[in-house]
Amino acid sequence: MSAMGIGTKRKRKHGRRSRKRQENAVVGATNPEAAAGGNEVRSSVSNVELVTSNSPHLPLNTSDAAVCAPTKPPSLKLQPTRLFPMTSLLSLAVPCFRRLMRRDPNFSLPWQRKRQYSSSSSGFVIQGRRVLTSAHSVQHYTQIKLKKRGSDTKYVATVLAIGVECDVALLTVNDDEFWEGISPVVFGDLPALQDAVTVVGYPIGGDTISVTSGVVSRIEILSYVHGSTELLGLQIDAAVNAGNSGGPAFNDRGICVGIAFQSIKHEDVENIGYVIPTPVIMHFIQDYEKHGMYTGFPVLGFEWQKMENKDLRLSMGMNLDHNGIRIRRIGPASPLFKVLKPSDIILSFDGVDIAEDGTVPFRHGERIGFSYLVSQKYTDDSAEIEVFRNSEHLKFKVDLGTHTRLVPAHNNGKPPSYYIIAGFVFTPVTVPYLRSESIAHSLVLTSLVLYFQYGKEYEYEAPVKLLDKVLHGMPQSVDEQIVVISQVLVADINIGYEDIVNTQVLAFNGQPVKNLKSLVSMVESCTDRYMKFDLEHQQIVVLRTRTAKAATLDILTRHCVPSAMSDDLKT
């Protein structure tokens, strides 16, 4: 999945598709401006603007809404409000222009960051002197400035929280002058199908406010590109272009029903945009208010199978009128590992029956994936799960939490970890690592093409074995990582090993490699004559210990590497 505005989509090279992948879905905040020489790209990633409303402010009801109501999704309870014409809303709106400087991690050279560049995007003011925008617009920021409509004054903003999974970020401005004449936007309930929606922002193509209108065409669990997760989302037929990300989406009464954040760009598709709905937004805000920080969306941490086949249900001892889903696998790192078992049939979640296709009642006769119920909970919340196991009905009260993935979906804004010995660069595999800009090297004699990373089309380009670990890998512990040799910094000591790239390290001197930190500990404390790295595909690397350690400093100096390891490995 490529960021909008960086370039057009490449033709798919393989027939392999990832699970539930939204083809050509792109984060809608990239606004390219210019390119620099070399391997770095200077671009304006997101044209984000803040839109505020001077419409009468309605206090939010912060009481807990029913989380698992089968007929209506949990949403923020609001007092009734008068109709507010869109023309009046726009005339009273006080957009703010945000400018930020950022430096993205360089996964090919993890000891440094990429060249600094600027970006801008949309956003809007909410109660509590806070600003909402999209998370992908502020990641890896170094400075953020906001500018109100009609003013040339820029105000420095502070980031309060970034929700990577839900692609929402919360900002504030300490300068009182910024808040003069600004009233917060009012949130509404989840819209219905065919409800009118208007997206407001400052997309690419001009400097003034832009308004696009359409209707809600779909409400379902969809893939959030930036967070590599699946949450409730709205599909609309209004254009969501580069720079709209973070801007509000209003209904025909001038009430905010979501945040524009991504779209699909394809030659056969027109005007398919996506909006983060208010239940997801309010979960993010209330999570921050409850914990003082963003803690994420809980997940159950298991893979499941539909039970639509009647023979399958009968073989499991179920009656034909029984519903539920079967647990295929559950990893030791799952928060429910000690409670649930493979082949358990999940019948209900918090009293809401789960159908054999994994859906639950939603509203107005609609159905939605049961993960929606889970996503409305908070970290450390409890839930009741009804299970059918060995012809018995069991009920468990479980504590929910976030789930550790074998290949993390993001780096939480932290720089990548790395370790270098004798020119071998070791790093853990993450989705951002796989997505980073691909660098290909061709060997003329063999016509072999090697990739350091697999680019934004990693779901097509990555080897099947590695892709399987991304999609289905389950860690045996919360700190397990897949460690690879990302590249080799050429030197005399590593002659013959130069072509090793993106190859997993399985063991060191006969000891399994649990994570990068354990590998560093074993290498640094090694007193054996030789160091032996067992790699995948039965490949090995053998180095003389004393010579390898002595050569490392010279290699670091020659390649202008400031340290043999990242800061997180020094403690």
Residues with a catalytic annotation lie at: 136, 167, 245
CB atoms within 10 A of CB 113: 15
Q: How many CA atoms lie within 13 A of 491 on its CB side?
A: 24
**Which one, of 163, 392, 396, lies nearest residue 282 by Cα?**
163
Q: How far apart are the first and last CA of the chain?
A: 35
Question: Two tokens at 227?
Answer: 């967070």
**Which one, of 443, 425, 552, 565, lies nearest residue 491 by Cα?**
552
Burial pattern 378-389, b for ≥16 Cβ within 10 A else e, equals bbeeebebbbbe
Cα 200 to Cα 216: distance, rounded to the nearest angstrom: 15
The set of residues, in sequence order, having a beta carbon less than 8 Å from that of 546 and lying 6+ positions away, is none
**Which one, of 383, 375, 61, 381, lies nearest residue 233 by Cα?**
375
DSSP structure string for 97-147:
EEEEEE--B-SSSTTSBPPPEEE-B-EEEETTTEEEE-HHHHTTEEEEEEE
Cα 148 to Cα 96: distance, rounded to the nearest angstrom: 4
